[in-house]
């Protein structure tokens, strides 16, 4: 078991917290500040316990000087200050005398935010390649390191693994919650246990399927990835999304787990994107039909299975949900599950966005904050950013 922030005496200590402030920004405005809000519990806890709080986060990808100009955390520090109701000291650099001096001046309960960690990527990807010297330098600024950025925990970066390798460390409340809700649910589901998988490519989900097919009672497959399975089972899928390299994998899986794997029986198809939208059964596809959502019979089939299940983990939208005409399957299943009072875990990335954007933010047991990180947890992998944290 990993140490948690609660296992440390934080008073008078310089506590470095790796948070996830990677928020969407447009025209110098934060479009969605949910990630900042999700970090408040850990930050406030550290403030209340009398720590000198030092925050690190990345924002976007930094490949050019232009990226750098557009991705300063200054705007985030202003919003954080509003949310905390106190001043946040923002240091517009990732290392050096200015930062060292500001850290030295910190008093108990102060909060300091360091500039975007990925600015270090302009200098040979030092952050993303977990440069040893950079990790050591950031660690030298603190006494304790807390990882509360779940969404980057599947990466071995200087701002998580690098610091944790050089300092006493623990996890924050957000990471603790993710590990508890996703990790423990997979190991100890209430049965029957169903996994819903969707999204574009089978190849991205092979690890998840391999790990969960033995543990789950049902795997319901929708979204673009369903059509590679349907092709593998001999259906004509027209011009629907296909992942040729995964056909053999799909065939093997369908042979081995016939009863567990549930595929769409009908789909919403178009010949031209967002035009002539038609509902078709599996055997009715024309050569130029593109399936972009699951159909009504499939929605009912999924609901019939889900109504008897007690734990449901869902990763990947069931259709091209970004476009209204193809969002019905994802919405219907979200709505059904939101009313079901079952243990429902929404596994990050597009599925979490869909759940939040369609109004189901508070309707489920858990909505993960990490796309890639939650996928790797579902694959049964150990995340490097968590692995590097001290054990109890
Ligand atoms: P992933 O990142 O693999 O979970 O894929 C998410 C993406 O899959 C979203 O952008 C969806 O629009 C897309 N998607 C879902 N269903 C389909 C479909 N039937 N055809 C094409 N794209 C789809």
Instruction: Using DSSP, state whether 4 is helix, strand or coil.
Output: strand
Q: With beta carbons less than 8 A apart as the criterion, state whether 355 and 364 touch.
A: yes
Model pLDDT, residue 124: 94
CA 144 – ligand 1 centroid, Å? 41
Second CATH level (architecture) for the domain 5-174: 3-Layer(aba) Sandwich (3.40)
In 10 A of CB 27, how many CB atoms?
5
Task: Give which of 31, 47, 49 is closest to 39, Cα–Cα.
Answer: 47
Pocket of ligand 1 (CB under 6 A): 198-201, 204, 223-224, 241, 291-292, 316-317, 319-322, 349-350
For residues 222 and 321, the answer to whether their CB atoms sit within 8 Å is no
The predicted-structure confidence for 237-251, as pLDDT tens digits, reads as follows 999 999 999 999 999
Ligand 1 atom with the shortest distance to the CA of 292: 19
CA separation for the pair 302, 329 (Å, rounded): 10
Q: Is 195 exposed, middle or buried (0-12, 13-18, 19+ CB in 10 A)?
A: buried
pLDDT at 97 over 90: yes
Q: Are 52 and 106 in contact (CB under 8 A)?
A: yes
Contacts (Cβ under 8 Å, ≥6 apart) of 362 = none
Give the pLDDT confidence score for residue 148 in this predicted structure. 98
Share of the chain above pLDDT 70, in %: 100
Q: Which fold has domain 189-378?
A: Rossmann fold (3.40.50)
Beta bridge partners of 111: 53
118 pLDDT higher than 90: yes
Please tell me the distance from the alpha carbon of residue 36 to that of residue 315, in angstroms, as a whole number.
Answer: 23
Query: What pLDDT digit, counting tens, does each position of 126-146 carry?
Result: 999 999 999 999 999 999 999
Write down the catalytic residue from 3, 79, 136, 201. Answer: 201
- How far, in Å, is the centroid of ligand 1 from the Cα of 318? 7
CA of 193 from ligand 1 middle (Å) equals 24
Domain ranges of the chain: 5-174, 189-378
- Quote the CA–CA distance of 149 and 153 in Å, as a whole number: 6
Provide mean pLDDT across the span 73-88. Answer: 98
Collect all residues with Cβ–Cβ distance below 8 Å to 189 and sequence separation of at least 6. 215, 216, 310, 311, 343
Q: Where are any strands of DSSP class E within the chain?
A: 14-18, 25-26, 29-30, 52-56, 89-91, 111-114, 144-147, 168-171, 193-197, 218-221, 261-262, 266-270, 278-281, 290-294, 311-315, 343-346, 366-367
Identify whether the C-beta of residue 16 lies closer than 8 Å to the C-beta of residue 146.
yes
pLDDT of residue 283: 96
Catalytic residue among 251, 372, 380, 381: 372
With 80 as the cut, is the pLDDT of residue 229 above it?
yes
Atom nearest to 223 CA in ligand 1: 16
5-174 against 189-378: fold identical = yes
Q: Crossing angle, helix 349-357 and helix 328-338, to 10 degrees?
A: 70
Q: What is the mean pLDDT of residues 160-167?
A: 98
Question: What is residue 73's predicted lDDT score, i.e. its pLDDT?
Answer: 98
Q: How many helices (H) and strands (E) does the chain have?
A: 16, 17
CA–CA gap between residue 207 and residue 228 (Å, rounded): 16
Rounded to an integer, what distance in angstroms lies between the CA atom of residue 333 and that of residue 314? Answer: 10
Which atom, in ligand 1's list, is nearest to the CA of 316? 4
How far is the CA of 90 from the CAs of 80, 211, 252, 304, in angstroms?
Answer: 10, 43, 54, 53
- Active site (annotated) includes residue 79: no
Question: Which residue shows structure tokens 């649910």?
Answer: 185
The rounded distance, in Å, linking the Cα atoms of 141 and 378 is 34
Q: Which of 197, 199, 207, 208 to mutate to test the pocket of ligand 1 (most atoms within 8 A of CB)?
A: 199
Among all chains, which residue has been given the structure tokens 């609901």? 303
Give the model confidence (pLDDT) of 277-327 as tens digits: 999 999 999 999 999 999 999 999 999 999 999 999 999 999 999 999 999
**Per-residue pLDDT at 61:** 95
d(CA 214, CA 231): 23
Q: What is the DSSP letter of 90?
A: E
Give the model's pLDDT for residue 348: 77
Q: What are 327-348's pLDDT values in tens digits?
A: 999 999 999 999 998 999 999 7
pLDDT of residue 25: 93
What is the distance between the alpha carbons of residues 197 and 45, in angstroms, rounded to a whole number? 36
Residues 263-286 as b/e (b if ≥16 CB within 10 A, e otherwise) read bbbbbbbbeeeeeeeeebebeebe
Tens of pLDDT, residue by residue over 19-43, are: 999 999 999 999 999 999 999 999 9
Mean pLDDT score across all residues of the chain: 97
Q: If pLDDT is split at 50, 70 and 90, which confidence band does 349 have? A: confident
Tokens of 343: 């243990």
């Amino acid at each position: 078991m990993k140490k948690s922030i609660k296992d440390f005496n934080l008073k008078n200590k310089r506590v470095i917290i790796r948070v996830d402030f990677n928020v969407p920004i447009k025209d110098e405005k934060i479009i969605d500040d949910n990630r900042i809000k999700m970090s408040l519990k850990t930050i406030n806890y550290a403030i209340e316990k009398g720590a000198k709080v030092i925050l690190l986060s990345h924002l976007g990808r930094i490949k050019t000087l232009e990226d750098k100009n557009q991705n300063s955390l200054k705007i985030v520090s202003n919003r954080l200050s509003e949310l905390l109701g106190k001043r946040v000291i923002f240091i517009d650099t990732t290392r050096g005398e200015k930062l060292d001096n500001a850290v030295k001046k910190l008093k108990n309960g102060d909060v300091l935010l360091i500039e975007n960690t990925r600015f270090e990527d302009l200098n040979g990807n030092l952050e993303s390649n977990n440069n040893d010297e950079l990790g050591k330098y950031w660690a030298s600024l603190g006494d304790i390191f807390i990882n509360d950025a779940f969404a980057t925990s599947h990466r071995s970066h200087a701002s998580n693994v690098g610091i944790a390798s050089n300092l006493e460390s623990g996890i924050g409340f957000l990471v603790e919650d993710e590990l508890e809700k996703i990790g423990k649910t997979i190991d100890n589901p209430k049965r029957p246990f169903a996994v819903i998988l969707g999204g574009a490519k089978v190849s991205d989900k092979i690890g998840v399927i391999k790990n969960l097919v033995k543990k789950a009672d049902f795997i319901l497959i929708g979204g673009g990835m369903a059509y590679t399975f349907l092709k593998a089972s001999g259906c004509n899928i027209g011009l629907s999304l296909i992942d040729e390299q995964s056909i053999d994998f799909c065939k093997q899986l369908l042979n081995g787990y016939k009863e567990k794997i549930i595929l769409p029986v009908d789909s919403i198809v178009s010949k031209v994107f967002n035009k002539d939208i038609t509902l078709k059964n599996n055997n009715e596809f024309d050569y130029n039909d593109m399936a972009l959502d699951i159909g009504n019979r499939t929605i009912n089939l999924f609901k019939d299975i889900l109504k008897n299940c007690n734990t449901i983990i869902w990763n990947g939208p069931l259709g091209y949900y970004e476009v209204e005409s193809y969002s019905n399957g994802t919405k219907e299943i979200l709505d059904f599950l939101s009313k079901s009072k079952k243990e429902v875990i929404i596994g990050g990335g597009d599925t979490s966005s869909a759940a939040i954007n369609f109004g189901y933010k508070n309707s489920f047991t858990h909505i993960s904050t990490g796309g890639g990180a939650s996928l790797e947890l579902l694959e049964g992998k150990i995340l490097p950013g968590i692995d590097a944290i001290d054990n109890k």
